[in-house]
Amino acid sequence: MTTYVTVAIPYVNAQPHLGYAYELVLADVYARTRRLAGDAVRFLGGTDDYSLKNVLAAEAAGVPTRQFVDDHGARFQALVGPLDLSFDDFIRTSADERHAPAVERLWRACAANGDLYKHAYEGDYCVGCEQFYTATDLVGGLCPDHGTPTERVAEENWFFRLSAYQDQLEWLVGSGELIIQPEPFRQEVLGWLRRGVEDISVSRSVARARGWGISVPDDPSQVIYVWFDALSNYISSLCFGDHQSNEYRRWWVEADRRVHVIGKGILRFHALYWPAFLASAGQPPPSRIQVHPYLTAGGEKLSKSGRSTVGPASIAADYGTDALRWWFAREVGAVADTDFTVERLIARANEDLANGLGNVINRVVTLIYRYRGGLVPRVTAEPLEAVRDLQEHVWCALVDFDLRRAAQLISDVVTALNRDLEVTQPWVIARAEPGGRPAAGGELDVLLARYFLTAQAISSAATPIVPGLSARLLDQLGTDRRVSQPCPAFPRIERP
């Protein structure tokens, strides 16, 4: 099976925030699980450079736009380390030579299909969303997403005939040909479609864009609208600009899965605009759009430029990548927004990773090290019933983006292993034998082998969620049935 998975590419107008980090980890867990299950996987990240927000931020900083987006784009790309991401590719829309030719090819294909036309327009525009809103969309005259005043804009732009794809979009979403999950977000898209879709502006004047953007083919007075441009990254990274591209054929046209992982605030662009652009160009749509809610701090949405900002790199540096990835999996809801605090992060990490997963593996290793010199007894044994099919159940949850259920399954078997240790008390069995060393092949050997196999199963199942911790646990369990010297793989976190 072939799986192509992407994240939304962010504007680089400010520092990365923790809400976007969650999206990256959510997609990374999915990509890792698919790879472990045997899929051929391509996982794409990137940055959205051609945005008016980037231009305005550069002006405010007093630096050239090119320098600004290069500097800030590097900070997003640098999240690979702190978040332990497994990107196969990373595209920056203003710097990657694959991008502009693909955008131009998509534009010309839509134009050849008769879906682009020039039209004078006046409307309420939110720079933050890079989107026009109708009066009924606004909340108290403000942008419904940012809560900020819109700008009244009047100019002549190129428009895309989105209305021509109303029926096709309804069929895609309604039939499940395009999966949108979780279900409440699918219903939101169906609601938009029931109310009807209107044609959309897909270009901006060069003057308003400050000359920053990809020029509209054959019309140098306009640049291509950032959302037409940005969405194209999913195929420009596959060399869509080359009509003979093998990468595009393999990872898009012939892929078994084309999965976009996005935040709820940009659902309209991905569920309506993007499939319509592709249909106009005669290209297949994505197969799944996985939507996630926001993270908040004190009830306020985390953002790059707002008052509530939490830097993922600094959180990972202070408390560890494993703690952050585990908190995302264990705590963030599928639909409702989730509030982040450092206290919650520390409490969850200490309970589940230090006192739970890390501790129970260390207990097993200590027993084998103490009573068998680090060698796992070579006797016939089966792992605890609780971990049979654990990996399958955990990975099934992860490929359905149910990280909470997967993390809960792992925590449950950790509890089961600890409970069994307390019931059997192998240390008591060891002390009961003459010299404190029971005979080989006896009850203690069977227990130690059983617990070793159980510990291996738990550590392996956790790999997509906490790959770093999982690797340390498996290393502690050793190779060729020889464990390492006992050492906590995840020490308790003490807040600085």
Q: What is the pLDDT of the chain when averaged over all its residues?
A: 92
Task: Tell me what percent of the residues of the chain surpass a pLDDT of 70.
Answer: 93
Six-digit token string for 382 = 């089966």
d(CA 415, CA 343): 23
CATH code given to domain 341-477: 1.10.730.10
Would you call 464 helix, strand, or coil by DSSP?
A: coil
What does the pLDDT read at residue 348? 97
What does the pLDDT read at residue 174? 96
Range among 145-154, 305-314, 353-362 with highest mean pLDDT value: 353-362
d(CA 235, CA 237): 5
Task: For residue 88, name the pLDDT band (cuts at 50, 70, 90).
Answer: very high
What does the pLDDT read at residue 496? 67
For residues 304-312, give the mean pLDDT. 63
Six-digit token string for 165 = 């794809």
What does the pLDDT read at residue 136? 63
What does the pLDDT read at residue 124? 75
Q: What is the third-level CATH fold of 2-314?
A: Rossmann fold (3.40.50)
What does the pLDDT read at residue 434? 61
* Residue of 57 and 462 predicted with greater confidence: 462
Within the chain, all domains assigned CATH 1.10.730.10 are found at: 341-477
d(CA 57, CA 167): 39
What does the pLDDT read at residue 309? 62
Within the chain, all domains assigned CATH 3.40.50.620 are found at: 2-314
Task: Please say if the pLDDT value at position 306 is more than 80.
Answer: no
What does the pLDDT read at residue 440? 61
What does the pLDDT read at residue 125? 72
205-211-212 Cα angle (round to 5): 105
Pairing of strands 116-126, 131-133: antiparallel
